[in-house]
Structure 1
Amino acid sequence: MTADDGIGTDATAQRAELAKTLPRFDQTFPELTPPEIARLRGFGEIQTYRDGERLFETGKPGPGMFVILKGHVAITQRDGLGHVTPVIDQGPGQFLAEIAQLSGRVALVDGHAEGDVEVILIRPEKLRALLIAEAELGERIMRALILRRVNLIQGGAGGPVMIGPPQSAAIARLQSFLTRNGFPHHLLDPAVDHDAAELIARYSPTPAELPLVVVSDGSVLRNPSETELARAVGMIGGPRGEKIYDVAVVGCGPAGLATAVYGASEGLSVAVLDSRAFGGQAGASARIENYFGFPTGITGLALTARAFNQAQKFGAEIMIPVSVNALDCERKNGAFVLALEGGDEVRARAIVVASGARYRRPGLDRLKEFEGRGVWYWASPIEARLCAGQEVALVGGGNSAGQAAVFLSGHVKKVRMIIRGGGLAASMSRYLIERIEATPNIELLFNTEVVALDGGADTGLERITLKSRLSGEQAPAEIRNLFLFVGADPATGWLGDCGVTLDRAGFVVTGAQSEQNAGRMVSPLETSVPGVFAVGDVRSGSVKRVGGAIGEGAQVVAALHGFLADALVPPV
């Protein structure tokens, strides 16, 4: 096919038009030179496709990255309602893939041949090898893969379609889940969208069954759980047969991601499991301004998304959402066993506990009733949209609370920041205190606590009651959105009876702190059970900062190498 063919001319015109409107177009859709393509041939295999044949399909596992040698491929986004949105036409010298193909996850777009097509197919394991072996070329490809996913998310055309009231708490729950996992999706309001209204009329859902979620194959889910949605869109990555990993990391926050990046880059086979999303609590942070190397700050999601992509680049297998129910420390055939919800298992020679902490729930009557209906444990753009222009209350005096208050102040009429103590200096970084004091619509209420919640079954939270800890005086406040940042409890229940020592608060004891380690040389990050390590917020004595968690995740890899090397030495 030549540039004079109709398809070639149309594709050239389309690229020229896209280049005018799409930021960083040349980095998103680069063209490879003949010498570069020659270097890629050793990593792939030649495949041919006839006119109209699909190379990959939305919702089905993608086979890898395609480098086009001859012909053109049309890329389109398709949702479950049958809407098809053109993305781009790709021709000779260009490659087809986005970040999901590092791990062979489902494709988020369709690609079909326009005319006869010849390509080099580079499968996921070979693609990861290419990115490492060809550093300069690999950097260009990796940047393009990431930018393509970003464009798919920002385009708002493909992915699962959520249908329901935009202010719905269930919508916020599912949007938060998909956003935190970097999965494209879009929302239709049946009050203004004809297609959405028709679907509502056809399925006649009860209020409890909203939102409806339509996935790429046309299936309709009624107010699904996160796991049900993840399974329907093909997002879940689970155990692979009887494979025994060198290390299984439980928790995909900064500490777990750092362990995955450094461990996988040094040749360890790594599995990372998380019940919700990558990033942990840090992933929900609106802006981190005191992390080394980012003088202008960075959102928690952006920081941890980079690490998530980096871990996949080096071959770590990330399983989300997957819940770990228990750890069996008997080491059958030299491996620990993680029992997963649903009956599956993951086996590994070593375990890293990086499960972090869960937001603490204060002892307030009716709290559970209002969770997701006016009571929130994080502040993202999704929650900010739900309370735009309102007065909100935020409880807490730590850095997470300060970051959330500053973020929300840009979206709401007023933030009432409720602090049990008499000041912030003991619990919050100085730069955040100064920012809060300089923000006119943040009101600080010291020596104050929330003692009651009130609202309706249909309306959600409507008001809270505040109490002065000095005078005992109580006063109601008309607040429909309450943000709670009152500390966190360690997520260690899954360790059960494994023998891992916990401190009085439930955090994992490591190193010389553990009585069971007396008399033996152990890593500062090893628990009372040899081969089980702990890093990040879940570890007793950790500094509870993103930088500290990342440092421990890197540090534990040396200890893992030592343990695994000793484990392979046959007994005398």
Structure 2
Amino acid sequence: MLTVDDDPAVSRAVARDLRRRYGEEFRIVRAESGAEALDALRELKLRGDQVAVLLADHRMPGMTGIEFLEAAMDVFPAARRILLTAYADTDVAIDAVNVVDLDHYLLKPWQPPEEKFYPVVDAQLDAWRAVAPAAVAEAKLVGHRWSARSTQVREFLARNQVPYRWFASDSAEGERLLEAAGVGADRVPVVVTADGEVLVGPGDAELAQRVGLQVAPTDDFYDLLVVGGGPAGLSAAVYGASEGLRTALVERVATGGQAGQSSRIENYLGFPDGLSGAQLTDRARRQAVRFGAEIVLAQEAVELEVTGSSKTVRFADGRVIGAHCVLLANGVEYRELGAPGCAELTGRGVYYGSALTQAAACEGQDVVVVGGANSAGQAALYLVRGARSVTMLVRGDSLAAGMSHYLVEQIEAHPRITVRTGSQVVAARGDDHLDAVVVRDAAGAEEVLPTSWVFVFIGARPRTDWLDGIVARDDFGFVLAGHDLLVDGRGPAGWALDRPPYHLETSTPGVFVAGDVRSQSAKRVASAVGEGAMAVMLVHRYLEQL
């Protein structure tokens, strides 16, 4: 409840009577000018609080009570509005009922409050409770749906399990939040944290820190440093920490990797009804933390240095972390469409692995999924729940070549999913957002396919350039390990020790690799989890020799 009156004595009296009856349920905020009260309302809006009742004195210098209530409607339209006025201003109060949709006016003095004040406020509270919106305790994100950075921020918050509520910048509530923050719509995305802090166009590191994620390690040296937080990295963090290793996991964006973005994993051992990638990721992350592993987010590894038995990883912000052993589990990233227009429209209709975040916006729309592997199939089945139709563009001759049989059966049986084999996107069209894609079939014929939503799953490439000259990689950039290091059967390439490399050990002793980033890996969640656990066993063997 907020009360505003320029007379300090009257202001205190109103607040006193409100606290006496409503103080246990409501916080009473008092202001002595309209401008001060509006500032208080904007702060409450940013913090996600709700205002039930506004009581304003009519005769105030600078801004009358009616002017204040009119301005307050733009910030909290559901709040009940009461004007405090003298008998001489009754006509003005009656006129205000039509001007600012005034809910009630009270004549001063209102003593005794039990007869003249509380019954009025009680009635207004009953009316407010009937329509009051739920309080927003989460972070709030205001952005434009065709803004690439707005999409990235949504992805970052969602994948890191940060509760947030999305508001389009041109929606009524979005405009109220921007006004309360004093930020123009041209500067979105804007994030308002749960405690009311305003972040304008934040980078991932700043955003992570402000919403309470750990962005810096607590120590500078560990037994095991895991780079990458996909299934392999999380598995290694769980087993490493549970077996007594000082373990830190550092992730560039969010734990879970590509698997964490999967809408449904149905062939993972022990889950006959399936589970989402987010569920699997959340359970594994909590499990790792419970055993004592540190999980550091929004840090990108850029350099690996080896000095004797010590390994040091340098990150983009200049931080360095040392360890006896390093596990490379940084996975892969989706390959991008190289067709004209795709790069310019990324995040504005062309998306890579964003099916979960954007699915609600696709309701009733015609959606295109590009790709023919499991991730594409899972996305198509998830998106079609709300989309009017889903068209899958597959470059190969059939889905069976790259997709699990159970997914192929579900897709072929769905009436709103169309599969077009031998097809590829050769151009994307649109100005501020995607309008259509140009599709070429196996015979070379081209067709313009109208759509504002394209989700791309056309394979992946490893993020291993930062390892150049340190560990051996294959021609595609995947890290070689164990037996794959053998060259023509003559022995390990660049291997300096008498013993052969362990199964998951790279060409640099004490540096291991697991998951999708490893050359010839199975590219399945179960195998990645197994490799993460196996890597910890091999780390123990290595440490025993130091």
TM range (shorter): 0.7 to 0.9
8 Å contact kept, 2:141–2:192: yes
For residues 346-388 of structure 1, give each alpha carbon's deviation from its aligned partner in whole angstroms, at most 9, with x where no partner exists.
1100000001111011321222211111111114332112222
Aligned residues, how many? 417
Q: Which residue does the alignment assign to 2:444?
A: 472
8 Å contact kept, 2:480–2:507: yes
8 Å contact kept, 2:301–2:466: yes
- SS of the aligned residue for 2:286 comes to helix
Matches within 5 A, 1:250-261: 250-261=227-238
Shift of 1:80: 7.1
2:166, 2:336 → 1: CA distance?
30
- Counterparts in 2 of 1:198 and 1:526: CA distance versus 1, 3 Å: closer
Q: Which residue does the alignment assign to 1:292?
A: 269
- Counterparts in 2 of 1:79 and 1:559: CA distance versus 1, 3 Å: farther
Are 1:197 and 2:172 counterparts?
no
1:196, 1:359 → 2: CA distance?
35
Shift of 1:192: 4.8
Matches within 5 A, 1:313-462: 313-331=290-308, 334-456=309-431, 458=432, 460-462=433-435
Are 1:496 and 2:468 counterparts?
yes
1:543, 1:194 → 2: CA distance?
47
AA at the equivalent of 2:336: R
- Counterparts in 2 of 1:169 and 1:335: CA distance versus 1, 3 Å: same
8 Å contact kept, 1:80–1:217: no
Q: Which residue does the alignment assign to 2:213?
A: 235
Are 1:482 and 2:454 counterparts?
yes
Q: Which residue does the alignment assign to 1:100?
A: none
- Counterparts in 2 of 1:263 and 1:221: CA distance versus 1, 3 Å: same
2:232, 2:177 → 1: CA distance?
46
Matches within 5 A, 1:159-198: 159-165=138-144, 169-189=148-168, 191-193=170-172, 196-197=175-176
TM-score with structure 1 length normalisation?
Answer: 0.69
Q: Which stretch shows the higher mean deviation, 300-309 or 365-374? A: 365-374
1:253, 1:315 → 2: CA distance?
18
8 Å contact kept, 2:355–2:455: no
For residues 313-361 of structure 1, give each alpha carbon's deviation from its aligned partner in whole angstroms, at most 9, with x where no partner exists.
0000000111111111224xx4211001111101100000001111011
Shift of 1:225: 2.4
What percentage of aligned pairs have identical amino acids? 41
Q: Which residue does the alignment assign to 2:198?
A: 220
Q: Which residue does the alignment assign to 1:82?
A: 47
Are 1:552 and 2:531 counterparts?
yes
2:533, 2:47 → 1: CA distance?
46
Two-structure CA RMSD over aligned residues (Å): 2.4
- Counterparts in 2 of 1:450 and 1:224: CA distance versus 1, 3 Å: same
Task: State which structure, 1 or 2, has the greater radius of gyration over its C-alpha atoms.
Answer: 2
Shift of 1:213: 1.5
Shift of 1:507: 0.4
- Counterparts in 2 of 1:329 and 1:191: CA distance versus 1, 3 Å: same
Q: Which residue does the alignment assign to 2:280?
A: 303
- Counterparts in 2 of 1:263 and 1:80: CA distance versus 1, 3 Å: farther
Q: Which stretch shows the higher mean deviation, 436-445 or 334-343? A: 334-343
AA at the equivalent of 2:462: P
For residues 384-411 of structure 1, give each alpha carbon's deviation from its aligned partner in whole angstroms, at most 9, with x where no partner exists.
1222211111111111111111111112
8 Å contact kept, 1:239–1:344: no
- SS of the aligned residue for 1:350 comes to strand
Shift of 1:291: 0.4
- Counterparts in 2 of 1:297 and 1:194: CA distance versus 1, 3 Å: closer
2:388, 2:196 → 1: CA distance?
41
- Counterparts in 2 of 1:452 and 1:167: CA distance versus 1, 3 Å: closer
8 Å contact kept, 2:425–2:439: yes
2:135, 2:529 → 1: CA distance?
33
- SS of the aligned residue for 1:370 comes to coil
2:153, 2:393 → 1: CA distance?
28
2:456, 2:541 → 1: CA distance?
41
8 Å contact kept, 1:255–1:552: yes
- SS of the aligned residue for 1:369 comes to coil
TM-score with structure 2 length normalisation?
Answer: 0.72
8 Å contact kept, 1:255–1:535: yes
2:235, 2:45 → 1: CA distance?
36
Q: Which residue does the alignment assign to 1:541?
A: 520
Are 1:277 and 2:242 counterparts?
no
- SS of the aligned residue for 2:326 comes to strand
8 Å contact kept, 2:169–2:188: no
AA at the equivalent of 2:210: A
1:202, 1:248 → 2: CA distance?
40
AA at the equivalent of 2:452: R
AA at the equivalent of 1:468: D
1:525, 1:286 → 2: CA distance?
30
- SS of the aligned residue for 2:153 comes to helix
Q: Which residue does the alignment assign to 2:36?
A: none
1:198, 1:182 → 2: CA distance?
23
- SS of the aligned residue for 1:445 comes to strand
